[in-house]
Amino acid sequence: MKSRIVLIVVALLLLAGCAKATPEAATGEPRELRVMVYDSFSVSEDVIARFEAENNATVQFLKAGDAGKMLNQAILSRDNPQADVLYGVDNTFLSRALDADIFEPYKAKNLTAIPEALHLDDHYRVVPTDFGDVCLNYDKAYFDEHALTVPQSLADLTKPEYKGLLVVENPASSSPGLAFLIATIGVFGEDRYLDFWADLRANDVLVVDGWDTAYYNEFSGGAYSEGIRPLVVSYATSPAAEVYFSEGALTEPPTGAVTAPGTCFRQIEFAGILKGAENRDLAEAFIEFLLSDNFQADIPLQMWVFPANPNVTLPQVFTDFALEAAEPAEVPAAAIETNREQWIEAWAEVVLK
């Protein structure tokens, strides 16, 4: 018996030792602000350091998977929020976040600098921070070699000359995949998008799980692409990233983005203060900071999307090679939320079965 008690005591001691001691909130000690972000979020050290110095805070980032995974974690743990601020819910998932009521309203002062078109919540529960266009990317060399014109509309993709050339991501598991599906719904309407996809399937479209598989394993255009398909659903900024990450080896992108009207979907990303945030005032300061020139100017090279504030200076590689969609397809956020699951299931029925 004795040995058992000893074991239990040892176990409890182990657990007690492992539990993190809560820091004493003494005056003058920097307070900790926790920010939930998706995996590919990034920011410069000095930019954050400035916020920390100005607000006597330390910022603790919490990476929680891709955007969808992060949001569902935040919704699931809304009674015990993991963070004070959530960054990175996009317009395809915004309604779910708002319906689940995880954000506190806050009318940011710096919001005045952001174009009206990016404001999607009238109740100020979230602020737009950046946007990026999901567009077709093409392998320049392939189109040159085969003297093929680059498709200029989604309907073009069903033409015989593009048979077997396109790879897309599964909308059920990939954020650009979902954006592209929504673009087709915006362009063809709810009654005809499935016909388009049936034609696309007949034209031998390849569906893969995620962006990395599509871009690196199936697409042929990137400097490191292993695949043989010259058309992929990616971002309008991917060609610029190709140049930047070639470290001078490339002066021109090996790929191009199709930004013709009605071919892209604009993903707008938002940030908001989570309900139950421990440091409300600090969270407000952080929201202002996200909209400040300091942070906005840091966005392009860290995350390869455009800052929401149109007045900040873009880096050279962006002004040279990053494109913006001319007239992205539009679908209201509320319609996306109501129908997302049903659209994906109907799509899977047509494309995967």
Partner 1 sequence: MPDNIDHESQITSRNSQLLTRNSLLALPLLFLLLFYFYPLGEIFRVSLTWDAGPAPDALLARLFGPATLRTLGFTAGQALLSTALTLLLGLPGAYVVARYDFPGKRLLNALTTVPFVLPTVVVAAAFTAVLGPRSPLNQMLMNAFDLAHPPLDLRYTLGAILLAHVFYNYTLVLRIVGGFWANLDPHLEQAARTLGASPWRAFVDVTLPLLMPALAAAALLVFIFCFTSFGVILILGGPRFATLEVAIYRQAIDMGNFPLAAGLSFVQILCTLALTVVYTRLQGRLARPLELRPRWITQRRPRTWGEIAFVLANVGLGAALLGLPLVTLAARSFDAGLRYYTALFENPRGSIFYVPPVAAVGNSVKFALGTMALALLLGVLTATALYRRKQGWMLDALFMLPLGTSAVTLGLGYLLAMARPPLALRGTPALIVFGHTLVALPFVVRNVMPALQSIRPSLREAAATLGAPPARVFAEVDLPIVWRALAVGAVFAFTVSMGEFGATSMIARPELPTIPIAIYRFLSQAGALNYGQALAMSTLLMAVCVVGFVAIESLRPPGSEW
Residues 266-325 within binding reach of partner 1 (CB under 8 A): 301-302, 304
Site for partner 1 in 182-211 (CB under 8 A): 206-211
Footprint (CB under 8 A) of partner 1, residues 228-257: 228, 234-235, 238, 241-242, 244-247, 249
Q: Judged by CB under 8 A, which stretch of 58-66, 118-126, 187-195, 275-283 contacts partner 1?
A: 58-66
Calculate the alpha carbon distances from 303 to 212, 232, 240, 299, 350 in Å.
15, 20, 12, 6, 34
Contact stretch for partner 1 (CB under 8 A) within 106-114, 123-131, 216-224, 266-274: 216-224
Q: Which of 33, 86, 94, 172 binds partner 1 (CB under 8 A)?
A: 172
| Binding of residue 224 to partner 1 (CB under 8 A) | yes
Residues 82-111 that bind partner 1 (CB under 8 A): 82, 96, 99-100
Question: Could you tell me which residues come within 8 angstroms of residue 293 by beta carbon, excluding any fewer than 6 positions away?
Answer: 309, 311, 312
Backbone angles phi, psi at 279, to 5 degrees: -120, 75
Find the binder of partner 1 among 30, 32, 40, 50 (CB under 8 A): 40
Residues 119-148 that bind partner 1 (CB under 8 A): none
Angle at which helices 45-55 and 280-291 pack, to 10 degrees? 140
Question: According to the binding rule CB under 8 A, does residue 55 interact with partner 1?
Answer: no
User: How far is 204 from 14, CA to CA, in rounded Å?
Assistant: 58
How many CB atoms are closer than 10 A to CB 262?
19
Does 263 participate in binding partner 1 (rule CB under 8 A)? no
Binding residue count for partner 1, defined by CB under 8 A:
75
Cα 183 from Cα 336, distance rounded (Å): 11
How far is C-alpha 120 from the chain's CA centre? 16
**Which of 176, 186, 222, 256 lies at the binding interface for partner 1 (CB under 8 A)?**
222
Q: Quick one: which of 69, 107, 159, 280 contacts partner 1 (CB under 8 A)? A: 69
Phi/psi for 262 (5° steps) reads 70, 30
